[in-house]
C-alpha cells in the first residue's frame, strides 16, 4: 500500500466506519421493532401459541426442519405446513401422533415425541400462527 | 520439556489446542453419521436421531473453534504485549471448566432425550434452548459467559498492561464483541419474529462480524512471524480488512431479514451490503499472497505458510463467492433454506475459521514443543492433510451445491414436488458428499498423525 496512506488513516476508517454503521444498524433495528406489529400479528399470540413455541424448542424441531427457511434441511419446511395440510390443525396433530417409535425401515422418520393433548394442540396453534406471519410471500410454492 | 516460547505463560495455549483437535475429530464423526442418515434414513434411529447428531456436529464445531481462538489469544497476546499473561492459573482453570461443561453438554445431548434435558436443566425458568446453534442448556450458556468473562479479564489486563500492538487491539475488540453478542442468546421472546431477528445478532454478527476480526488478527500475527515483513505494512492491511469486514458485515445482517416477517426494506439494504461482504475476504487473500511474495525471510515452517494462504483462498471462495451466489433477495427467494445454504456453510466455516485455527496451531505447536518448525518429514505429512481436507471440502461443497440447484429446480419452481420426493432424487449427490466426507476424515487422521512424526529437527535460528 502507498506511503501516503498512513496507518492513522487506516485506523480512522476502521473506527469511524464501524461506529457509523453500528449506529445505522441500531436505527434500522429500532424502526424494524416499531413496524413489526403490522407483520407478525402478535395480537394472536395466545397462551397456546406461546406454549407451542416452547414445545417446538423443547423438542429441538429446528434440528431437522426449517421454519421460515431457517433451521436444518433434513425434513420439510414447517412455516407453511398449516397451509400444506389443508389448513387443518387436526391433520398436523394426527401426523405427529402417528410417528412409529422405531422409525420406518430405510427411510427418514420423525421421532415419536409422546406429546400430551395440550402440547399437540399448542404446537398446531403455533404452526398456524406462524403460517399467518407476513413473510414477503415466502416460500415460492406450497411445497416449502 | 524444552520450549522456545518467549514467555512461559504462552504455554497455556497448548491444552487449548489439543482439546480443539480432539473435539474436531468428534465433530467430523457426527458429520459422517448425518451424511449417512441423509441416504440411509433410519441409520442409528431412534438412538441418535438426526437432530441430535446435528446438534453435536454444530455445537462441537463452535466449541472447538472457541478453544482454538482462546488458545490463539493466550499464545499471541503475551508475545505481542511483551509481558507474561496476567494469570496463567486462571487460564488453566477456565480450560478445565470449559472442557468439562462442554463434555457434559454433549453427553446430555446423546444420553437423554432433548425434552428431558430441557426439563432437568431448568429450561422452564429461563427458556433459551431449542434454537439453532443455541441448543445448549441455559446453565451451559451461563457457564460460557463466565468462562468468557474470566478469559477477557485475563487477556485485557495483559494487553492493557503491556505493549499495545494493532494485532492485540483488533484481537481484543473481536473477543469482546464475541462475548457481548453472545448475551443475545438469553433473549428468547414468545414472538417468533422478534426471536429470529435477535437470534441473528449472535449468529451473523459472530461469523460475519466479530469473528472476522479474530481471523484477521491471527492471520496478521502469523504473517508477521513467518514473512518478516515490517509491522507498519501489516498493520495498515489489518485495519483496512477489519474496516471492510464491519462496514459490509453489520448491515449485511439484513440478508437474513428477507423472509422471516421483517420489513421489506431489508431486501435492498441486506442485498447491497452483503454483496460487498466478499471484499474483506478478497483483501485477506491478497494480503496473504502479497506478504508471502514479499517476504524478507524464509521461515522453516512451510506448513504454516500453506495453511495461511489456504485460509485466504478458501475463505474467499466459501464465505465470499458461495455467499454472494445466494445473497441477493430475488435469488434467495428460491434458495433460502435449501442445500445451497448447507454448501455455503460448509466451505465458509472450513475456509475461514477451521483453517485459521489450524494455521495458528501449525505455527505455535512446534515452538511450544521446543523447535521453530517440525521436521521436513512431519511437515510433508501435515501438508498432505491440508490437501486431503481442503480438496475433499471443495468436493463436499460442489456436491451440496449440485443437490441444492436440483432441489430448487424440482421443489421450488412452478407447482413443485413434495420435499421427500425431491430428497430421494438427490441421493446420488448425498452419497458423493458422504464419500468426500470420509476422505475429509482420512485427512484429519493424517493431520493428527503428523504430530507424532519425529524425523530430523530443524535447528532454531
**pLDDT tens sequence across B89-148:** 999 999 999 999 999 999 999 999 999 999 999 999 999 999 999 999 999 999 999 999
Examine the domain organization and report whether A104 and A143 are in the same domain. Answer: yes
Mean pLDDT of chain B: 97
Give contacts of A113 with chain B, Cβ < 8 Å.
115
Give contacts of A62 with chain B, Cβ < 8 Å.
51, 130-132
β-strand partners of A107: A104
- B118 contacts A57? CB cut-off 8 A: yes
- A10 contacts B243? CB cut-off 8 A: yes
pLDDT at B57 over 80: yes
Examine the domain organization and report whether A11 and A82 are in the same domain. Answer: no
Contacts for B90-96: CB closer than 8 Å, 24+ residues apart? B90/B150, B90/B153, B90/B154, B91/B9, B91/B12, B91/B151, B91/B154, B92/B12, B92/B15, B93/B150, B94/B147, B94/B150, B94/B151, B94/B154, B95/B12, B95/B15, B95/B16, B95/B19
pLDDT at B58 over 80: yes
Examine the domain organization and report whether A123 and A98 are in the same domain. Answer: yes
- B338 contacts A103? CB cut-off 8 A: no
Give contacts of B50 with chain A, Cβ < 8 Å.
63-64, 72, 74-75, 108
- B119 contacts A36? CB cut-off 8 A: no
Does residue B219 sit at the A interface (CB-CB below 8 Å)?
Answer: no
- Minimal-distance CA residue of chain B relative to A139: B333
Does residue B15 sit at the A interface (CB-CB below 8 Å)?
Answer: no
Give the list of residues 6+ apart from residue A143 with CB closer than 8 angstroms, or none. A77, A84, B411, B412, B415, B416, B417, B418, B419, B422
What is this structure's pTM? 0.97
d(CA B23, CA A15): 36
How do residues A27-79 score in pLDDT, each as one tens digit? 999 999 999 999 999 999 999 999 999 999 999 999 999 999 999 999 999 99
Examine the domain organization and report whether A54 and A111 are in the same domain. Answer: yes
Mean pLDDT of chain A: 97
Name the residue among A69, A102, A136 with its Cβ closest to that of B337.
Answer: A69
Examine the domain organization and report whether A61 and A92 are in the same domain. Answer: yes
- B236 contacts A140? CB cut-off 8 A: no
- Minimal-distance CA residue of chain A relative to B47: A102
Name the residue among A58, A71, A76 with its Cβ closest to that of B132.
Answer: A71
Look-up of cell digits 511437515: B379
Examine the domain organization and report whether A23 and A48 are in the same domain. Answer: no
Examine the domain organization and report whether A11 and A58 are in the same domain. Answer: no
Q: Is the ipTM of this complex over 0.90?
A: yes
d(CA B322, CA B340): 9
What pLDDT shows up at residue A66? 98
What pLDDT shows up at residue A4? 85
DSSP letter assigned to residue B7: S
Answer for the pair B237, A8: CB distance below 8 angstroms, yes or no: no
Examine the domain organization and report whether A97 and A130 are in the same domain. Answer: yes
d(CA B123, CA B111): 17
Give contacts of B235 with chain A, Cβ < 8 Å.
7, 10
pLDDT at B460 over 90: no
Look-up of cell digits 463467492: B321
β strands within B12-107, DSSP E? none
d(CA B94, CA B61): 19
For each of the domains in chain B, give its residue range(s) and CATH number, in order of start: 8-450 (1.20.210.10)
- A59 contacts B130? CB cut-off 8 A: yes
Give contacts of A68 with chain B, Cβ < 8 Å.
192, 196, 259-261, 337
- Minimal-distance CA residue of chain A relative to B410: A143
Q: What is the mean pLDDT of residues B331-360?
A: 98
- Kindly report the nearest CA distance between residue A94 and chain B, in angstroms: 19
Examine the domain organization and report whether A30 and A73 are in the same domain. Answer: no
Q: What is the CATH number of the domain that holds A66?
A: 1.10.760.10
* Domain count along chain A: 2
What pLDDT shows up at residue B461? 44
SS3 A98: coil
**In which domain, by residue range, is A5 found?**
1-35
Examine the domain organization and report whether A47 and A27 are in the same domain. Answer: no
- A39 contacts B263? CB cut-off 8 A: yes
- B253 contacts A60? CB cut-off 8 A: no
What pLDDT shows up at residue B26? 98
d(CA B97, CA A44): 43
- A63 contacts B52? CB cut-off 8 A: yes
d(CA A93, CA A104): 19
Examine the domain organization and report whether A54 and A27 are in the same domain. Answer: no
What pLDDT shows up at residue B455? 76
Does residue B228 sit at the A interface (CB-CB below 8 Å)?
Answer: no
Examine the domain organization and report whether A48 and A6 are in the same domain. Answer: no
pLDDT at A130 over 50: yes
- Minimal-distance CA residue of chain B relative to A34: B263
Amino acid at each position: 500500500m502507498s506511503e501516503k496512506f498512513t496507518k492513522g488513516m487506516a485506523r480512522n476508517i476502521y473506527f469511524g466506519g464501524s461506529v457509523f454503521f453500528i449506529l445505522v444498524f441500531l436505527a434500522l433495528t429500532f424502526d424494524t421493532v416499531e413496524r413489526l406489529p403490522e407483520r407478525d400479528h402478535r395480537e394472536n399470540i395466545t397462551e397456546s401459541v406461546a406454549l407451542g413455541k416452547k414445545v417446538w424448542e423443547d423438542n429441538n424441531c429446528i434440528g431437522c426442519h426449517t421454519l421460515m427457511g431457517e433451521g436444518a434441511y433434513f425434513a420439510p419446511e414447517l412455516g407453511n405446513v398449516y397451509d400444506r395440510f389443508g389448513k387443518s390443525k387436526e391433520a398436523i396433530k394426527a401426523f405427529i401422533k402417528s410417528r412409529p417409535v422405531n422409525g420406518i425401515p430405510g427411510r427418514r422418520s420423525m421421532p415419536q415425541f409422546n406429546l400430551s393433548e395440550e402440547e399437540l394442540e399448542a404446537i398446531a396453534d403455533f404452526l398456524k400462527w406462524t403460517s399467518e406471519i407476513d413473510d414477503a410471500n415466502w416460500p415460492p410454492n406450497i411445497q416449502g | 520439556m524444552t520450549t522456545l516460547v518467549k514467555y512461559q505463560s504462552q504455554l497455556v495455549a497448548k491444552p487449548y489446542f489439543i482439546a480443539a483437535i480432539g473435539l474436531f475429530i468428534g465433530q467430523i464423526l457426527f458429520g459422517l453419521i448425518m451424511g449417512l442418515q441423509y441416504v440411509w434414513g433410519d441409520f442409528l434411529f431412534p438412538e441418535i436421531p438426526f437432530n441430535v447428531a446435528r446438534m453435536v456436529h454444530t455445537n462441537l464445531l463452535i466449541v472447538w473453534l472457541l478453544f482454538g481462538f482462546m488458545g490463539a489469544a493466550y499464545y499471541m497476546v503475551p508475545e505481542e504485549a511483551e509481558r507474561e499473561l496476567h494469570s496463567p492459573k486462571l487460564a488453566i482453570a477456565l480450560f478445565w471448566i470449559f472442557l468439562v461443561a462442554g463434555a457434559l453438554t454433549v453427553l446430555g445431548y446423546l444420553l437423554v432425550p432433548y425434552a428431558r434435558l430441557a426439563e432437568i436443566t431448568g429450561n422452564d425458568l429461563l427458556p433459551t434452548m431449542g434454537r439453532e446453534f443455541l441448543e445448549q442448556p441455559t446453565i451451559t450458556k451461563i457457564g460460557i459467559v463466565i468462562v468468557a468473562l474470566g478469559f477477557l479479564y485475563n487477556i485485557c489486563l495483559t494487553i492493557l498492561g503491556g505493549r499495545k500492538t494493532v494485532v492485540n487491539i483488533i484481537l481484543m475488540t473481536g473477543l469482546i464483541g464475541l462475548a457481548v453478542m453472545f448475551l443475545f442468546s438469553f433473549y428468547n421472546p414468545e414472538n417468533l419474529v422478534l426471536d429470529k431477528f435477535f437470534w441473528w445478532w449472535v449468529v451473523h454478527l459472530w461469523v460475519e462480524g466479530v469473528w472476522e476480526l479474530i481471523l484477521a488478527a491471527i492471520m496478521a500475527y502469523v504473517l508477521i512471524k513467518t514473512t518478516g515483513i515490517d509491522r507498519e505494512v501489516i498493520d495498515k492491511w489489518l485495519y483496512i480488512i477489519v474496516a471492510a469486514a464491519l462496514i459490509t458485515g453489520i448491515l449485511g445482517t439484513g440478508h437474513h431479514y428477507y423472509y422471516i416477517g421483517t420489513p421489506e426494506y431489508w431486501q435492498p439494504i441486506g442485498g447491497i451490503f452483503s454483496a460487498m461482504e466478499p471484499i474483506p475476504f478478497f483483501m485477506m487473500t491478497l494480503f496473504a499472497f502479497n506478504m508471502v511474495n514479499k517476504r524478507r525471510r524464509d521461515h522453516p515452517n512451510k506448513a504454516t505458510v500453506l495453511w495461511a494462504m489456504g485460509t485466504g483462498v478458501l475463505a474467499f471462495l466459501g464465505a465470499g463467492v458461495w455467499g454472494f451466489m445466494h445473497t441477493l433477495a430475488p435469488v434467495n427467494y428460491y434458495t433460502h433454506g435449501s442445500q445451497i445454504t448447507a454448501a455455503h456453510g460448509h466451505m465458509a466455516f472450513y475456509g475461514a475459521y477451521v483453517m485459521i485455527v489450524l494455521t495458528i496451531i501449525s505455527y505455535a505447536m512446534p515452538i511450544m514443543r521446543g523447535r521453530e518448525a517440525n521436521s521436513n518429514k512431519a511437515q510433508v505429512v501435515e501438508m498432505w492433510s491440508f490437501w486431503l481436507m481442503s480438496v475433499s471440502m471443495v468436493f463436499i461443497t460442489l456436491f451440496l451445491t449440485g443437490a441444492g440447484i436440483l432441489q430448487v429446480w424440482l421443489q421450488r419452481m412452478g407447482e413443485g414436488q413434495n420435499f421427500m420426493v425431491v430428497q430421494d432424487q438427490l441421493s446420488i449427490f448425498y452419497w458423493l458428499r458422504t464419500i468426500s466426507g470420509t476422505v475429509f476424515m482420512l485427512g484429519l487422521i493424517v493431520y493428527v498423525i503428523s504430530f507424532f512424526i519425529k524425523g530430523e529437527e530443524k535447528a532454531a535460528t
